[in-house]
Amino acid sequence: MDKLKNYNKDFKKVICKNIKKFRKEKEIRLMDLAEMLEVSPEYLKRIEAPNDDKKTCSLTLLYKLSLIFDKKLDDFLKDD
């Protein structure tokens, strides 16, 4: 059995897209979310940008986002 058959090499872009999508679903402004996470709005904006490969989301930040958005961590990896 090939355990990596469903590996999505663009998983970082999927996470970025979902962070932005979940934020908009909760109707939270980027500046407000940045304040909740104790990061700068510029940093969060770069995380939400799918083409910014230099800025990635830490596992700690992703966990905080899951709590704020009331989502499971694997929800951030779903590519709808």
pLDDT along the chain (80 residues), means of 10: 81 93 98 97 92 83 98 93
Pure H helices in the chain: 11-25, 30-37, 41-48, 59-69
Domains in the chain: ranges and CATH: 11-70 (1.10.260.40)
**Stated pTM of the model:** 0.88
Report the C-alpha gap between 36 and 55 in whole angstroms.
19
User: 21 and 77 in contact (C-beta within 8 Å)?
Assistant: no
- Which pLDDT value is given to residue 52? 77
- Which pLDDT value is given to residue 9? 84
- Which pLDDT value is given to residue 37? 97
User: 55 and 47 in contact (C-beta within 8 Å)?
Assistant: yes
